[in-house]
């Protein structure tokens, strides 16, 4: 193993040396662009089989790079998956879960006062050691109180919002979501940044695109390596697109948003070529979780997979994923490596010539040997929902220890996470425990998780022999972080001076905020 690691490091040094030289003549590490979509499904791209074929730029990106059909998020909801990407750790380790209920999803709306702990080391903080300048464009979603600001966690620049573009609100009991440039609030969604809920028109993707293009140009002119985290949210409900794209898709408004994203990615890659830095820039495209089928058929597609966002079935966890690095990643490749959004943390550090932190558990793998040499690494994939390990995949086999979609109460009100996909005994509306006899599926033969293996079969027993020790080892070593996403009960809050209400670890934001303000720091 030591010889393999040494060979990999040696090859990487050659790659980095060939990639470009900085002003001092020393090898300059490649730029890193992570393009993170919001609620985009595995089946939304032409290269994954979407029949409308409306993503020519992303399809070309895949043809020029490497496609990952078996790439997973770390959680079926946005905030925890974003924490996982930037820390390289399962959300339960960083506290991005709730103990309000068993196997409950949670994120960071205005009522949540937790966020990314100072003890976590985020990717942009670590990349500073290699001289990177870092910017996040779009949705942060790792906490909206001052101590959680992205510029306090390694980013040098930010244009975007601490939250999603929900609204509009009345600005009394609840304000509209703010938009920031670095520390300064420059407006709010539905006000300075309008979103027309009736027509779906909004110019946000174009604004986010220009932010990305301007940042790339500035860093290239300064000859500095850069990290750009482009985390846009046009495909998250309420879905939006700018006027030139509205009504242009065969798939309705959601397709309009996807087409604008595809066009924007094409412009970003075109700029890299124009600036002659494409061969010195690593680009990775993926999504934070599966498409939100709760809004079906108006939202995205998870292809052949079961259910969607908020569930730990494949439709909620398996994501589109494309790696692009001309001259380094061989064109037209498909890798069957089990990949994870957490791997982007470790891979980015490897690109920068840095080691991951050794004082904590890191769940992400370095994918460079996969992308540069075609190597496959055996690894499990853990499917968490809140604080509960719901399922584990190893190789082709997936074992479910708990199943449920959403509650009967929600379902009776018309909320369905798996519309048109009822699988008896699998897509349950009560939390069903299978820890004694897990439901096991062979994902190669049955990617839709419709036909569990017979518990009397030799194949079932062989699959459990592979998975059981992995689960035992994981659970014995796991140290959960302090939960950050618990919801406070306003009814039991004691009064406190303006600014916050406090009860133990629960802190509530003020009921009203100034029209214009800066984020304290």
164 is catalytic: no
Q: Could you give the CA distance from residue 222 to residue 337 in angstroms, rounded to a whole number? A: 36
39 is an annotated ligand-binding site residue:
yes
Active-site entry in 102, 141, 307, 500:
141
Structure tokens of 32?
A: 């890193």
In DSSP notation, 379-418 reads: -EEEEEETTEEEEEEETTEEEESEE--S-HHHHHTT--SS
- Alpha-helical runs (H) found in 278-431: 314-317, 343-351, 368-373, 408-412
497 CB-side CA count, 13 A: 0
44 is an annotated ligand-binding site residue:
no
288 is an annotated ligand-binding site residue:
yes
Active-site entry in 78, 418, 488, 506:
78
Structure tokens of 453?
A: 């293996």
Structure tokens of 365?
A: 């793998």
Contact in structure between 1 and 197 (CB atoms under 8 Å): no
102 is catalytic: no
488 is an annotated ligand-binding site residue:
no
Which of these, 446, 444, 460, 449, lies nearest to 427 by C-alpha position? Answer: 449
User: In this structure, is the dihedral angle defined by the CA atoms of residues 32, 38, 41 and 45, taken in order, positive or negative?
Assistant: negative
Q: What is the CA radius of gyration of the chain?
A: 22
H or E element in which residue 92 lies: helix 91-94
307 is an annotated ligand-binding site residue:
no
Residue 304 exposed, middle or buried by CB count within 10 Å (0-12, 13-18, 19+): middle
What is the arrangement of strands in the sheet containing 318-319, beginning at the earlier edge strand? 318-319, 71-72, 339-340
Q: Which residues are catalytic?
A: 78, 141
User: Residues comprising the binding site for Ca(2+)?
Assistant: 38-39, 78, 288-289
User: Residues comprising the binding site?
Assistant: 38-39, 78, 288-289
């Amino acid at each position: 193993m030591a010889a393999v690691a040494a060979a990999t490091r040696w090859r990487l040094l050659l790659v980095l040396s060939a990639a470009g030289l900085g002003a001092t003549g020393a090898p300059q590490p490649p730029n890193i662009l992570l393009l993170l979509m919001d609620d985009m499904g595995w089946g939304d791209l032409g290269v994954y089989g979407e029949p409308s074929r409306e993503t020519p730029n992303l399809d070309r990106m895949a043809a020029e790079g490497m496609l990952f059909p078996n790439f997973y998020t770390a959680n079926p909801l946005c905030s925890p998956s974003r924490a996982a990407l930037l820390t390289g750790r399962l959300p339960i380790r960083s506290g991005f879960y709730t103990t309000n209920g068993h196997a409950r999803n949670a994120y960071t709306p205005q009522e949540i006062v937790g966020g990314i702990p100072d003890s976590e080391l985020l990717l942009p903080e670590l990349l500073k050691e290699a001289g990177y300048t870092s910017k996040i464009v779009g949705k942060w979603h790792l906490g909206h109180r001052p101590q959680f600001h992205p510029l306090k966690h390694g980013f040098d620049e930010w244009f975007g919002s601490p939250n999603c573009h929900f609204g509009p609100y009345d600005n009394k009991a609840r304000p509209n979501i703010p938009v920031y440039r670095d520390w300064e609030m420059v407006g709010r969604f539905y006000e300075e940044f309008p979103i027309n809920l009736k027509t779906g028109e909004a110019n946000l993707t174009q604004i986010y695109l220009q932010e990305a293009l301007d940042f790339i140009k500035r860093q290239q002119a300064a000859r500095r390596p850069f990290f750009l985290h482009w985390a846009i949210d046009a495909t998250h409900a309420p879905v939006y697109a700018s006027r030139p794209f509205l009504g242009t898709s065969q798939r309705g408004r959601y397709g309009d948003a996807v087409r604008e994203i595809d066009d924007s990615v094409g412009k970003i890659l075109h700029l890299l070529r124009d600036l002659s830095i494409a061969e010195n820039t690593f680009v990775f495209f993926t999504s934070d979780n599966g498409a939100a089928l709760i809004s079906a058929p108006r939202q995205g597609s998870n292809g052949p997979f079961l259910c969607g966002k908020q569930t730990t079935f494949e439709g909620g966890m398996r994501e589109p994923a494309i790696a692009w690095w001309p001259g380094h990643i061989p064109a037209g490749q498909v890798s069957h490596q089990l990949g994870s959004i957490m791997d982007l943390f470790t891979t980015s550090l490897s690109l920068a010539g840095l080691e991951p932190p050794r004082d904590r558990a890191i769940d992400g793998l370095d994918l460079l040997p996969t992308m540069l040499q075609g190597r496959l690494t055996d690894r499990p994939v853990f499917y968490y929902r809140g604080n509960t390990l719901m399922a584990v995949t190893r190789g082709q086999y997936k074992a479910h220890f708990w199943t449920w979609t959403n509650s009967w109460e929600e379902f009776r009100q018309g909320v369905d996470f798996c519309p048109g996909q009822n699988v008896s005994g699998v897509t349950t509306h009560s939390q069903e425990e299978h820890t004694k006899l897990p439901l096991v599926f062979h994902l190669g033969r049955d990617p839709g998780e419709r036909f569990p293996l017979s518990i009397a079969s030799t194949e079932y027993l062989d699959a459990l022999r592979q998975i059981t020790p992995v689960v035992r080892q994981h659970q014995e070593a796991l140290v959960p972080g302090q939960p950050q996403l618990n919801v406070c009960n306003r009814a039991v809050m004691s009064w406190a001076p303006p600014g916050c209400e406090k009860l133990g670890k629960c802190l509530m934001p003020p009921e009203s905020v100034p029209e214009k303000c800066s984020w304290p720091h």
